[in-house]
Structure 1
Amino acid sequence: MAYKATSETGEFGLIERIKSIVQPTLESAPELVLGIGDDCAVWQPSTELLQVSSTDLLVEQVHFDLLTTPAKHLGSKAISVNASDICAMNAIPRYALVSIAVPPSMPVEMVEELYRGMESAAREYGIAIAGGDTSRSRSGLVISVTVTGEVPEKMIAYRNGAKEGDIVCVTGTLGGSAAGLRVLTREKLIMMEHIENNETYNRNLMADLQEYTGAIQQHLLPLARLDTVRFLHERQVTPSSMIDISDGLGQDLGHICNASAVGALLQENRIPVNSTARLIADELQDDALGWAISGGEDYQLLFTISKEEHKKIADNRDIAVIGEITPKESGLLLKDIYGITIDLTSLPGFDHFK
């Protein structure tokens, strides 16, 4: 199959291709007045709702590696990580603006796969991709996504509302993304070693990755927990504070504690560590709990809630109670299975500039 470089297609030819791919996402937004094709996207929201918005950058060799990340997966992840920010406000994502800077040698077909991934994820969340921008890049692929959402004023959750005595909850399992990244990094190193030795890269030389699928998928195709937000709305429950876990459980809980001027005590035996992460950690002689606390990119929801309100959602088995909010002077602590307390602020989390 012959591939065509983006430099051959040109900016406007590329935009037309992108427009045709994302068109199905507009079906979920009847209030959208105008999408791709003008200087701005236009929509008419309800006056009864708060509007929220978030934006994220994904930069090649900082946030992803095209050697280990299929373009379609990358497109899906670009939408999901932004939708996760909207969910972290207990809000429903509605619209996305997507901008990309592309090396001129990148095949058009790869850009189309990127947007097919975005279109698939957007339809999953009910998001309309309403516009964006394209540019040339001299240093690799850069993706910028802005997502807007809406939430009734009484349902919005900020980081600064946690109170002493509140329960600390988390959705899903943690550590899977960090474990998946470790497996993919190992495969890349083996691949590069074969290339340097002028040897044919043969996947049969690798350990069978099938048993690691859960962790690899959690890294490459994370899902924003819109299902949890809808569940909370159905039960008329508003967390006292909430955040999504992008930088690691310890660091993101620290953001809540700092904003709310409180401390927290977590119980190690209650933290839901991903089962595949445990398998990979055993094989690599690493620590799955460490990945759960510091690994990041799990995109689960971490929230606090009063004990009374928690009774309304206690039947949801996908929400684990992992600790309690304490006075600020108590600090941010983890009690391990031996009863020893560990200062979580001493553990690393993800930092873009380190």
Structure 2
Amino acid sequence: MAHKTTSDIGEFGLIERISAIVAPTLSASEGLVQGIGDDCAVWRPASGQVEVASTDLLIEQVHFDLLTTPARHLGSKAISVNASDICAMNALPRHALVSIAVPPSLPVEMIEQLYLGMAAAAREYGIAIAGGDTSSSRSGLVISVTVTGEAPEDSLTYRKGAQPGDLVCVTGTLGGSAAGLRVLTREKLIMMEHLENNETYSRNLMADLEEYSGAIQQHLLPLARLDIVDLLHERGASPSAMIDVSDGLGQDLRHICRASGTGALLQENRIPVNSTARLIADELQDDALAWAISGGEDYQLLFTMSKEEYEKISDLRDISVIGAVTPKEEGILLRDIYGITIDLEALPGFDHFR
């Protein structure tokens, strides 16, 4: 059966289909006055709250590859990475504006799957997809998502604010996304080799890679840690500084330290490395710890907190204390299992322009 393309149904036909898919998310927002269908979306912030906003671009062949990324997973990730930025401010996400630039030859079914993924993630986080824009693209699929959120002003947490003596904490496990990407990249190379040799590529990607599914899922379907933000609010625990781990633990810790004017000392044996990442690293003769420190896209929360505040959440097993904040002149260091210190300033993280 021939697939319809965006050029077959036109811009307004595409908008009608998108509107129908995201309409159920609008009920998530009590403050939404006007969603899709006018020149602007309109919402009313809750009394006593401040509003925060974040935006991200996802560009084909820069952030994702449609050969290894299902469109529905991509849509979910597009919402999640923005929701994660809101969570990193200790705020709760509320509304999203989504814009896409689409090659005219792209099947409409793929765009629908993309938005079905977005709508599913939006419902998970209580986000209303309130509007956006569509355009054609000559160079691949481009997705731009802006998410707004709300928080009491005195609850907002910035990258600045860390103090010497504070604990350095991180949620979940690290390195899984980088490991999952390595596996998918390897599989793509095998697929391309088969095509170049006019051979049939017969693997069922997800079924045949079941043993790596934990890492692949962490890469394709990251989850914003809204649950942690809810717990922090519920227990009245206040981080002194916070960021989400998008560029790698080392890089994002440097962001906190530079904004706060501090150093930090991490303990290697306390860093929660994803177990599947260790398995994959052994197989590929690589280093799972390096993926945890420099890999990025884990979208866990990295935060600092005084020892007194940490007592309020010390029973939570999904939060690891991995080090402490130090004076700036002591640098940003990692102490390995042999007691040797490594300068984290020298380790790479993700940089779009390098």
Give the match's secondary structure for 2:74: helix
State the match for 1:22 in structure 2. Answer: 22
> Is 2:89–2:156's contact at 8 Å kept on the other side of the alignment?
yes
Aligned runs of 1:133-148 on 2, under 5 Å?
A: 133-148=133-148
Name segments (4+ residues, structure 1) moved above 3 Å: 204-208
State the match for 1:182 in structure 2. Answer: 182
- Hey, what's the Cα distance between the residues in 1 that align with 2:53 and 2:143? 17
Give the match's secondary structure for 1:296: coil
Aligned runs of 1:78-117 on 2, under 5 Å?
A: 78-117=78-117
> Is 2:160–2:260's contact at 8 Å kept on the other side of the alignment?
yes
State the match for 2:70 in structure 1. Answer: 70
1:331 aligns with 2:343: no
- Hey, what's the Cα distance between the residues in 1 that align with 2:27 and 2:269? 45
State the match for 1:131 in structure 2. Answer: 131
Q: Judging changes above 3 Å, is the alpha-carbon distance between structure 1 residues 98 and 204 closer, same or farther for their aligned structure 2 residues?
A: closer
- Hey, what's the Cα distance between the residues in 2 that align with 1:331 and 1:211? 39
With normalisation by structure 1, the TM-score equals: 0.99
State the match for 1:224 in structure 2. Answer: 224
- Unaligned residue ranges in structure 1 (runs of 5+): none
- Hey, what's the Cα distance between the residues in 1 that align with 2:206 and 2:22? 36
Aligned runs of 1:5-20 on 2, under 5 Å?
A: 5-20=5-20
1:265 aligns with 2:265: yes
> Is 1:165–1:326's contact at 8 Å kept on the other side of the alignment?
yes
Q: Judging changes above 3 Å, is the alpha-carbon distance between structure 1 residues 346 and 207 closer, same or farther for their aligned structure 2 residues?
A: farther
Deviation at 1:307, TM superposition (A): 0.4
Give the match's secondary structure for 2:168: strand
State the match for 1:3 in structure 2. Answer: 3
Aligned runs of 1:268-283 on 2, under 5 Å?
A: 268-283=268-283
State the match for 1:168 in structure 2. Answer: 168
> Is 1:18–1:115's contact at 8 Å kept on the other side of the alignment?
yes
1:247 aligns with 2:255: no
- Hey, what's the Cα distance between the residues in 2 that align with 1:310 and 1:238? 8
State the match for 1:52 in structure 2. Answer: 52
Give the match's secondary structure for 2:198: coil
- Hey, what's the Cα distance between the residues in 1 that align with 2:134 and 2:206? 38
- Hey, what's the Cα distance between the residues in 2 that align with 1:308 and 1:210? 43
State the match for 1:310 in structure 2. Answer: 310
Give the match's secondary structure for 1:160: coil
- Hey, what's the Cα distance between the residues in 2 that align with 1:179 and 1:238? 32
Deviation at 1:30, TM superposition (A): 2.0
Deviation at 1:2, TM superposition (A): 2.7
- Unaligned residue ranges in structure 2 (runs of 5+): none
Deviation at 1:238, TM superposition (A): 1.6
- Hey, what's the Cα distance between the residues in 2 that align with 1:43 and 1:99? 19
1:156 aligns with 2:146: no
> Is 2:245–2:299's contact at 8 Å kept on the other side of the alignment?
yes
Give the match's secondary structure for 2:61: coil
- Hey, what's the Cα distance between the residues in 2 that align with 1:152 and 1:26? 23
> Is 2:31–2:46's contact at 8 Å kept on the other side of the alignment?
no
Deviation at 1:97, TM superposition (A): 0.0
**How many matched pairs?**
354
Give the match's secondary structure for 2:117: helix
Deviations 1:7-50 (A, max 9, x none): 11111110010000000101111210000001100011123001
One-letter amino acid matched to 1:125: Y
> Is 2:180–2:218's contact at 8 Å kept on the other side of the alignment?
yes
State the match for 2:350 in structure 1. Answer: 350
> Is 1:155–1:237's contact at 8 Å kept on the other side of the alignment?
no
Deviations 1:85-104 (A, max 9, x none): 00000000000000000000
- Hey, what's the Cα distance between the residues in 1 that align with 2:326 and 2:353? 31
Deviations 1:151-171 (A, max 9, x none): 111111000000000000000
- Hey, what's the Cα distance between the residues in 2 that align with 1:349 and 1:31? 39
Deviations 1:270-300 (A, max 9, x none): 0000000000000000000000000000000
Give the match's secondary structure for 1:162: coil
- Hey, what's the Cα distance between the residues in 2 that align with 1:339 and 1:238? 31
Deviation at 1:208, TM superposition (A): 3.4
One-letter amino acid matched to 1:101: A
Q: Judging changes above 3 Å, is the alpha-carbon distance between structure 1 residues 5 and 222 closer, same or farther for their aligned structure 2 residues?
A: same
> Is 1:241–1:303's contact at 8 Å kept on the other side of the alignment?
yes
Give the match's secondary structure for 2:12: helix
- Hey, what's the Cα distance between the residues in 1 that align with 2:207 and 2:39? 50
- Hey, what's the Cα distance between the residues in 1 that align with 2:334 and 2:283? 25
Deviations 1:193-250 (A, max 9, x none): 0000011112179993111000000000000000000000000112000000000000
One-letter amino acid matched to 2:77: K
> Is 2:206–2:213's contact at 8 Å kept on the other side of the alignment?
no
> Is 1:187–1:206's contact at 8 Å kept on the other side of the alignment?
no
